[in-house]
């Protein structure tokens, strides 16, 4: 039952709080909300905006900021997060692991509405792993990905130490290319931003669920010089509503009514498990909307704890308590339909690979 709970709860937690899936090669390395009253009236720095107007403009801006509808798109994403996991048996600490990850990603895409879109993505990742407070794993990873003339090019560099300081590093590098044929803007951006190496800061909004925003009461917005700056302070109840809404949006439409009902019951059970385990110290979303109705800045700050208490049983005679804390931030800045160039390297030394069957 322990593993079952974690299998379902941890991916949901990661999806909403950081949104960032680690590069596959590095996955082995790193193993109550503030209730500030909403601002009202006017001030020297800007004019406050009502909650109803904020939610309406935020939902519209997310729809308008769909990069697949633009000619060009640039985005910078930064993430810094820590996780600490402890297990206790009879109040004695029996396991303690920690992780610290820092990642930066920059993306440029142009010609998105043409027959020959181009893409360049640069990713840098650093991961630290700890056991009982002592670092015993470390890794660095860089990846440059390009799409041009119907080819995908990857330049990967991995440096990994599995052991304490002084343990030798292993290093891997590769330059590969693959012919994939023509791709749409949706194809290349989905893979680059929202795929296994991607990021989604506020999935509920990206999934087109503006009703979720209406349930968040602690929201404030100030408009200055045509820029609307919005802050959502999300409570545990808000968060669980986000989780449930996101999971409900994934129910396949082709299911029968009976199958959909079973799916809903399953989702309700998962949310109930999270309700038992979750404590939120901080979950804050801040964003900026430009005068032309685009999201150009988006940040998620979080500090949460999840506690599982497992009573003694036939399979676990002593029982245990597991506590996981996670804190950090993820930040995105973007612009749309700007003019820029993409410089491609010399691909002559890239080794060709065949697409997966």
The single-letter DSSP state of residue 232 is E
Amino acid 271: pLDDT: 92
- Each as own residue / partner, the long-range contacts of residues 294-297 (CB below 8 Å, 24 or more positions apart, any chain) are 294/61, 294/64, 294/65, 294/334, 294/335, 294/336, 295/61, 295/62, 295/65, 295/334, 296/333, 296/334, 296/335, 297/331, 297/332, 297/333, 297/334
Which stretches within 35-184 are classed as H helix? Answer: 51-64
CA dist., res. 249 & res. 252, Å (int):
8
Looking at the structure of the chain, the number of domains it has is 1
- Closest by CA position to 298, among listed 308, 310, 288, 290: 288
* Residues 11, 20 contacting (CB under 8 angstroms): no
The pLDDT score that the predictor gives to residue 193 is: 59
pLDDT at 213: 74
Length of the chain: 357
In a domain? residue 357:
no
In a domain, 288, yes or no: yes
Q: Is the separation of the CB atoms in 24 and 83 below 8 Å?
A: no
pLDDT score recorded for residue 210: 54
- Using the CB atoms, write b or e for 154-185: b if 16+ within 10 Å: bbbebebbeeeeeeeeeeeeebebeeeeebeb
Residues 135, 167: Cα–Cα separation, whole Å: 11
Residue 28: the pLDDT is 31
Which pLDDT score is estimated for 212? 67
Verdict on whether the full-model pTM lies above 0.85: no
Position 206 scores a pLDDT of 44
Q: What does the pLDDT profile of the chain (357 residues) look like in tens digits? A: 343 333 334 434 444 433 333 223 332 333 333 333 344 444 446 899 999 899 889 888 888 888 889 999 999 999 999 999 999 999 999 999 999 999 999 999 999 999 999 999 999 999 999 999 999 999 999 999 999 999 999 999 999 999 998 999 999 999 999 999 998 887 887 766 554 333 444 444 444 455 667 778 899 999 999 999 999 998 999 888 878 887 887 889 899 999 999 999 999 998 998 899 999 999 998 999 999 999 999 998 999 999 999 899 888 889 999 999 999 998 999 999 999 999 999 999 999 998 877
- How much is the pLDDT for 140? 96
Task: Tell me the residue range of the domain where 347 lies.
Answer: 2-352
């Amino acid at each position: 039952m322990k593993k079952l709970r974690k299998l379902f709860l941890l991916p949901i937690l990661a999806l909403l709080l950081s949104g960032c899936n680690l590069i596959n090669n590095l996955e082995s390395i790193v193993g109550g909300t503030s209730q500030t009253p909403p601002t009202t009236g006017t001030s020297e720095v800007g004019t406050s905006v009502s909650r109803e107007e904020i939610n309406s403009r935020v939902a519209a801006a997310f729809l308008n900021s769909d990069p697949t509808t633009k000619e060009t798109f640039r985005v910078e994403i930064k993430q810094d997060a820590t996780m600490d996991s402890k297990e206790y048996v009879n109040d004695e600490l029996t396991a303690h692991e920690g992780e610290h990850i820092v990642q930066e990603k920059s993306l440029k895409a142009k010609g998105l509405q043409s027959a020959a879109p181009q893409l360049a993505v640069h990713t840098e990742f650093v991961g630290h792993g700890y056991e009982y407070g002592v670092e015993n794993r470390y890794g660095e990873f860089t990846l440059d990905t390009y799409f041009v003339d119907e080819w995908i090019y990857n330049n990967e560099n991995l440096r990994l130490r599995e052991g304490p300081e002084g343990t030798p590093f292993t290093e891997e590098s590769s330059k590969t290319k693959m012919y994939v044929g023509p791709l749409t803007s949706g194809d290349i951006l989905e893979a680059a931003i929202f795929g296994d190496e991607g990021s989604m800061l506020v999935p509920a909004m990206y999934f087109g669920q503006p009703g979720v925003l209406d349930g968040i009461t602690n929201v404030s917005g100030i408009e200055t010089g045509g820029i609307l700056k919005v802050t959502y302070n999300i409570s545990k109840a808000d968060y669980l509503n986000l989780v449930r809404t996101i999971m409900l949006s994934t129910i396949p439409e082709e299911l029968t009514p009976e199958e959909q009902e079973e799916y809903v019951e399953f989702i309700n059970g998962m949310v109930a498990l999270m309700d038992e385990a979750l404590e939120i110290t901080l979950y804050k979303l801040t964003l900026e909307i430009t005068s032309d109705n685009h999201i150009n800045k988006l940040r998620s700050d979080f500090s949460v704890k999840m506690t599982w208490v497992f009573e003694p049983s036939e399979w676990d005679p002593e029982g245990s308590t597991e506590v996981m804390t996670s804190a950090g931030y993820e930040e995105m800045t973007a612009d749309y339909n700007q003019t820029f160039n993409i410089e491609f390297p010399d691909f002559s030394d890239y080794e060709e690979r065949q697409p997966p069957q």
